[in-house]
Amino acid sequence: MIWIAVAYLCGSIPFGLIIARAATGKDVRTVGSGNIGATNVARAAGRSAAIATLALDAVKGLAPVLLAPREFAPACAIAAVLGHCFPVWLRFRGGKGVATGLGVSLALAPWAAVAGGVTWVVLYKILKISSVGSLAGVAVSLAVAAFTAERPALYGLAAVSAVILLRHGGNIRRLLRKQES
């Protein structure tokens, strides 16, 4: 149980808020979508800050899953993503879990993580809509994990995917109305 709590606390570190504030003095929660993730950090503080946020958000998912005993790794993956999405430090208002999901995926199913990351990059380059790349990347990652990961890891990634999908509810509604930017 301690491993799961540690994973949640690692996931709840608001790197986007910290980095944007250090780079610009701005509170990323008052800019754009109000999200603490890398996409909104790019709006608030620029590309370098967004890249740093993405990397640190991925590491905060990767580290606790790699360090936990094998039998706790899938639960720690879920806890880390929940920590990012619902951080105790920010009154449970966090990000959407994509970069942290990438980190936990790297730990549980590396080929799935690579496939999901490549999917995001390709779709973002073509469409310039981060949410499309994120949602497609999650779907591709889960599909690849179905063929390359052990069952417990797949179940953990399925739960992480569900959290990310739910956190993108507003994006999905805007996409369906063709209003997503």
Residue that the structure tokens 């209003």 belong to: 179
The total number of structural domains that make up the chain = 1
| 181 lies in some domain | no
| 34 lies in some domain | yes
What is the reported pTM? 0.95
Q: For 23-55, write each residue's pLDDT tens digit.
A: 999 999 999 889 999 999 999 999 999 999 999
Q: Residue 38, Cβ neighbours under 10 Å: how many? A: 26
| 153 lies in some domain | yes
Domain carrying residue 57: 2-176
Residue 50 DSSP code: H
Q: Which two tokens stand for residue 103?
A: 């980190």
Confidence of residue 180 (pLDDT cuts 50, 70, 90): confident
Q: Which two tokens stand for residue 66?
A: 């790699």
- Enumerate the H helices of 89-168 as residue ranges: 98-108, 110-127, 130-148, 151-167
How far apart, in whole angstroms, are the C-alpha atoms of residue 79 and residue 21?
26
